[in-house]
Amino acid sequence: KTPTEQDAGFSPRLVADLFRGMRDSPSDVEFRITCSYVCIYLEKIFDLLDPRFDKSLVIRDTTTGIAIEGAVEAFCFDE
């Protein structure tokens, strides 16, 4: 069986939907997309975009949502 978009996990579907919305927006609208990719395992947070495992990451509740201080933020240019 050939995988379809419905077979994809949460993250790939989220990214595809985000970029589809950007493509469908008016051409005069500009976007700047950054992402962090972390894993919580045994009550520790690991930054999957930075291979240093001794790095401390802190979760903060902000007025705009949850922020993970110390996590790498990478610019996203394409799906």
pLDDT tens column, 7-35: 778 888 888 888 899 989 998 998 888 88
Q: Residue 60 in contact with residue 67, Cβ under 8 Å?
A: yes
pTM over 0.85: no
- pLDDT for 12 equals 84
Query: Does residue 15 sit in helix, strand or coil?
Result: helix
**What is the residue-averaged pLDDT of the chain?**
83
The angle subtended at Cα 73 by Cα 15 and Cα 53, nearest 5°, is 110
Asked if the model's pLDDT at residue 2 lies above 70, the reply is no
50 Cβ contact list (under 8 Å, min separation 6): 71, 72
- pLDDT for 58 equals 83
Instruction: Please name the amino acid found at residue 67.
Output: A
